[in-house]
Chains A and B, each alone.
Chain A
């Protein structure tokens, strides 16, 4: 059975690779099958995890009747599918947005803004035991954050000192994009390596020389 699985996987890997030469029916078949299988898999997972495990079991088997309220709100979401009833979905969306905002906003402000600002600036009393490299790094981070913020300050024309600082900001942004691009290539090549390792080692049974 495992051998059949490996052959099927190898066939579909090569089918997808065939697109690199040109679009063809074998590629389209593989692509459509992937979309269909994924949609079916996700639908069943959502149905089992949400509707069955989180609603059906607690309400109808464990008697937690209060959860029916959540079930009704979930059902209202589906009212969007018809023009005459789509207004009903707004109640569910309003509840969801309010609940989401309630627990998201304070955490995001604390975790993504305040803590990040705090780690950008090293207070002098914390800096006494730092190495020169750590000092340099802290200054580079501070200069980078300030100059990028200046670059995105659009309420004043970038002239004179503001222009110089915003140019430094662009430099930092370019370095950031470069690093991001490098990591993206690494990710894409890794996917190719994974497929080649599968084709050579698992399918063809080759071993590294």
Chain B
């Protein structure tokens, strides 16, 4: 019994680098050899998918890149599926970003996917760029896209693009998609949704997802994706298997390892307390 207690107590002093190795193995092995664990779609992802696929050819949506490079691993898979779905359906996209760091992300992804699907800049999609003052931008877009963004990211007149012919406010866009690493998704729901009646769906980082649930249940957000799991669910629903689905096995093994660590930590704590009680 004493020997067992000793072993358990020693766990508390385990070098953190040993834990890092375990985490690395738990995440790396499934990346190299996926196990194909099942992914079940949640209600919020199904709603997100429904809103996206209910768009018709010729519709124009607003897409906001509300993230920068540090959260690309989580949010890029969502963006890719959303843009691919829109391009395949013939839905046009007017994109913008409320993050200075989002300019490079938006530029790279939009160009890459447009090239794959043979889409033309200014006709099938447009990147308005970054606008300072995110709250003012959200409100002014309700009045006029052209006045809010007189030029696109590269300084060309916004009104000169064919995609803008019949589009100038939220009333002309059946859907707004915000892929966000912060509270931007909530503010889109409050201002674009609450004030102008714009339908809003969002993709969020896992950390942010907890805070989005109240807006989803109140109907202010019509559907949302939470973290890599949400992205994987959308990939499954659209049949576009990609980085998110491939990463979900690692996600599961990583979480199982965390649970094991937490349990062992607690057992070690209890073992130490038991020994102190015995000594007394």
Mark A residues whose CB is within 8 Å of B.
20-21, 38, 41-42, 45-46, 49-50, 53-54, 57-58, 100, 103-104, 107-108, 110-112, 115-116, 118-119, 141, 176, 179-180, 182-187, 189-197, 200, 206, 208-209
Contact = CB atoms under 8 A, between A and B. Distances in A.
Interface string B185-225: 01001110111000000000111011000100111100000
Contacts, number: 136
Contacts of B27: 189, 192-193, 196
Interface residues of B, number: 54
A197 B258 CA distance: 21
Given A21-B17, A189-B255, A192-B23, 11 more contacts: A49-B130, A50-B132, A100-B135, A115-B218, A119-B214, A180-B207, A184-B206, A185-B254, A186-B227, A194-B243, A195-B73
Given A42-B101, A103-B139, A197-B31, A185 B258 contact: yes
Nearest to A192: B27
B255 A185 contact: yes
Nearest to A186: B206
Nearest to B74: A190
27 contacts: A45-B103, A49-B129, A103-B139, A111-B220, A115-B194, A115-B220, A119-B219, A180-B207, A186-B255, A187-B74, A189-B250, A189-B251, A189-B254, A190-B74, A190-B206, A190-B228, A191-B73, A191-B74, A192-B27, A193-B27, A193-B247, A194-B73, A194-B74, A197-B31, A197-B73, A200-B31, A200-B32
Contacts of A116: 214, 218
Nearest to A49: B130
A197 B129 contact: no
A187 B251 contact: no
Interface of B: 17, 20, 23-24, 27-28, 31-34, 72-74, 100-101, 103, 129-132, 135, 139, 150-151, 155, 186, 189-191, 193-195, 205-207, 209-210, 214, 217-220, 226-229, 243, 246-247, 250-251, 254-255, 258
A185 B260 CA distance: 14
A209 B217 CA distance: 41
A186 B227 CA distance: 7
Interface of B is mostly: helix
B1 to A, nearest CB: 32
A49 B74 contact: no
Contacts of B243: 194, 197
A59 to B, nearest CB: 13
Contacts of A42: 100-101
Contacts of A54: 132
Contact of A104 (B28, B103, B135, B151): B135
A43 to B, nearest CB: 9
A46 B17 contact: no
Given A103-B139, A183-B227, A191-B73, A197 B247 contact: yes
